[in-house]
């Protein structure tokens, strides 16, 4: 039986969200989008039955949680990790032409969707089992029954999230459910770090930095202490860095080289093809984050099962841990980022190594993604020609366009990877609210949603013009 036949059989039993019978109004889409967000937020607050309340440091930290929109110890423990990872793996395989799908055919697109769903469930099984095996989830009563219940909760939650994402993408909502969950998670983290009144000390010190400033002023405390709050609490440095990083990302998004293009058949119709500094967007950071998280999980698995006493020099290369489960050496230590400026100053080597690893991985994944993601100079040249366009002053040949684009795309690929690597890594060690990666993702998501809302409004107000365009 061929792989396509197997996918067809799987699709017949796979859960699926039907498209709306008719195009929904913008107001209806916004309502459904709001419902999806509410369901996600509720799931981030429901603790896993049979799992002890999380205590101490989060093994994946804010960096990993933001990328996968997960919440420690809740139904969203896995977050969108299996969905994102499955999509990236299949896109890589398709880009490398290991698997072939013709997206111009509806049946092929449906098979690709089925493959993504199936791989998502497989990865959810692997991740759920790994989380229990390495101790990421502290099971209260590690019996077969309790382990089965925890595993079942994680699987059901992943399927619900997968359905919510499909529901949004099929026209019930706006944009993508995955993007929504990431943006909402980052916004929640920034709001909580800024304004949370929850008391975190016997003296009455609030968690959020703004309530802390007011509390410090009324109690006669020193505001300078707000720059170096211990225990990973939000600081003034993090607040200032958050504003600066957000402004830098918006500015970097606007840096581009615009190449003039014109239609070969209709003279006078001209446009511009932008080659942005962030040419590959934030995909390299997502890939780097996924790799770092999996490396950390693998090192914990090795340490828990074969090197819990840190006595094996070879296995120590993957990572050594203390009694609390915090990394103290090896690869796991190097890829674990400090979360505040005070932690960075206490261990500058760890901070520098994390930023260096993020920059190297981001640049590497930028170059890989351009080649296999259909963004290379040769691929883009063919796309321009297939669209009936050309660059004025150049012959309408693939070789000519490839030579022109080849002057810019390799450079912006490397510089873009370097830029987002520095932003993601540097902001992490400064304690930016929501993490630098989260702000990178959220800014891009919000810009896309702005364009989407403008288009939806035009379609509602001028449906005839929209059909013509």
For 76-135, the pLDDT digits (tens) are 888 888 888 888 788 777 766 777 777 667 777 778 888 888 899 999 998 888 777 766
Per-residue pLDDT of 145-170, as tens digits, reads 888 888 899 999 999 999 998 898 88
Per-residue pLDDT of 337-355, as tens digits, reads 777 777 778 888 888 888 8
The architecture (CATH level 2) of 237-469 comes to Orthogonal Bundle (1.10)
What is the SS3 string spanning the chain?
A: CCHHHHHHHHHHHCCCCCCCCCCCCHHHHHHHHHHHHHHHHHHCCCECCCECCCCCCCCCHHHHHHHCCCCCCECCCCCCHHHHHHHHHHHHHHHCCCCCCCCCCHHHHHHHHHHHHHHHHHHHHHHHHHHHHCCCCCECCCCHHHHHHHHHHHHHHHHHHHHHHHHHHHHHCCCCHHHHHHHHHHHHHHHHHHHCCCECCCCCCECCHHHHHHHHHHHCCCHHHHHCCCCCCCCHHHHHHHHHHHHHHHHHHHCEEEEEEEECCCCCCEEEEEEECCCCCCHHHHHHHHHHHHHHHHHHHHHHHHCCCCCCCCHHHCCEECCCCCEEEHHHHHCCCCCCHHHHHHCHHHHHHHHHHHHHHHHHHHHHHHHHCCCCHHHHHHHHHHCCEECCCCCCCHHHHHHHHCCCHHHHHHHHHHHHHHHHHHHHHCCCCCCHHHHHHHHHHHHHHHHHHHHHHHHHHCHHHHHHC
pLDDT of residue 157: 92
pLDDT of residue 35: 93
pLDDT of residue 245: 86
**Is residue 326 scored above 80 in pLDDT?**
no
**Is residue 256 scored above 80 in pLDDT?**
yes
Per-residue pLDDT of 69-78, as tens digits, reads 888 888 888 8
**Is residue 65 scored above 60 in pLDDT?**
yes
Average pLDDT, the chain: 81
**Is residue 58 scored above 70 in pLDDT?**
no
**Is residue 468 scored above 70 in pLDDT?**
no
The domain 1-173 having CATH identifier 1.10.10.10: the answer here is no
pLDDT of residue 386: 76
Most confident of 5-9, 114-118, 260-264: 114-118
pLDDT of residue 54: 67
pLDDT of residue 59: 58
pLDDT of residue 38: 92
pLDDT of residue 466: 54
- Mean pLDDT (whole number) for 4-31: 82
**Is residue 372 scored above 80 in pLDDT?**
no
- The segment(s) of the chain belonging to CATH 1.10.3370.10 are 1-173, 237-469
pLDDT of residue 218: 84
**Is residue 270 scored above 80 in pLDDT?**
no
The answer to whether the predicted template modeling score (pTM) of the entire model surpasses 0.85 is no
- Mean pLDDT (whole number) for 390-412: 78
């Amino acid at each position: 039986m061929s792989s396509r036949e197997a996918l067809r059989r799987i699709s017949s039993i796979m859960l699926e969200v039907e498209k709306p019978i008719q195009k929904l109004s913008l107001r209806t889409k916004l309502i459904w989008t709001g419902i999806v967000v509410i369901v996600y937020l509720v799931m981030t607050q429901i603790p896993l039955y049979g799992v002890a309340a999380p205590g101490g440091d989060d093994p994946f930290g804010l960096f990993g949680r933001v990328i996968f929109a997960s919440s420690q110890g809740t139904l969203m423990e896995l977050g969108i990790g299996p969905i994102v990872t499955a999509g990236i793996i299949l896109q890589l395989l398709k880009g490398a032409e290991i698997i072939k799908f013709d997206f111009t055919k509806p049946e092929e697109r449906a098979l690709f969707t089925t493959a993504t769903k199936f791989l998502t469930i497989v990865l959810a099984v692997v991740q759920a089992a790994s989380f229990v095996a390495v101790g990421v989830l502290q099971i209260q009563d590690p019996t077969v029954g309790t382990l089965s219940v925890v595993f079942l909760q994680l699987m059901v939650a992943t399927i619900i999230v997968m359905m919510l994402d499909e529901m949004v993408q099929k026209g019930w909502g706006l944009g993508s459910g995955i993007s929504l969950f990431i943006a909402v998670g980052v916004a929640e983290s920034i709001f909580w770090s800024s304004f949370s009144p929850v008391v975190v000390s016997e003296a009455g010190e609030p968690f959020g930095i703004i309530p802390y400033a007011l509390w410090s002023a009324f109690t006669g405390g020193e505001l300078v202490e707000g720059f170096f709050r211990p225990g990973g609490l939000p600081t003034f440095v993090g607040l200032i860095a958050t504003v600066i990083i957000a402004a830098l990302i918006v500015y970097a998004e606007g840096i581009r080289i615009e190449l003039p293009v014109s239609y070969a058949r209709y003279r006078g119709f001209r446009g511009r093809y932008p080659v942005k500094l962030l040419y590959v967007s934030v995909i390299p950071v997502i890939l780097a984050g996924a790799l770092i998280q999996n490396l950390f999980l693998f090192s914990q698995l090795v340490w828990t099962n074969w090197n819990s006493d840190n006595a094996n020099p070879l296995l120590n290369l993957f990572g050594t841990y203390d009694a609390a489960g915090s990394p103290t050496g090896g690869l796991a230590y190097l890829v674990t980022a400090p979360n505040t400026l005070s932690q960075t100053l206490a261990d500058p080597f760890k901070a520098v190594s994390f930023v260096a690893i993020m920059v190297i991985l981001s640049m590497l994944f930028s170059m890989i993604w351009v080649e296999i993601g259909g963004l290379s100079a040769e691929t883009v040249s063919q796309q321009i020609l297939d669209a009936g366009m050309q660059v004025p002053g150049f012959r309408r040949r693939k070789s000519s366009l490839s030579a022109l684009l080849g002057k810019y795309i390799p450079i912006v690929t490397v510089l873009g990877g370097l830029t987002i690597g520095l932003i993601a890594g540097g902001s992490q060690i400064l304690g930016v609210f929501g993490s630098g990666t989260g702000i990178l993702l959220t800014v891009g998501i919000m810009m896309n949603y702005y364009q989407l809302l403008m288009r939806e409004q035009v379609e509602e107000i001028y449906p005839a013009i929209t059909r013509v365009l």
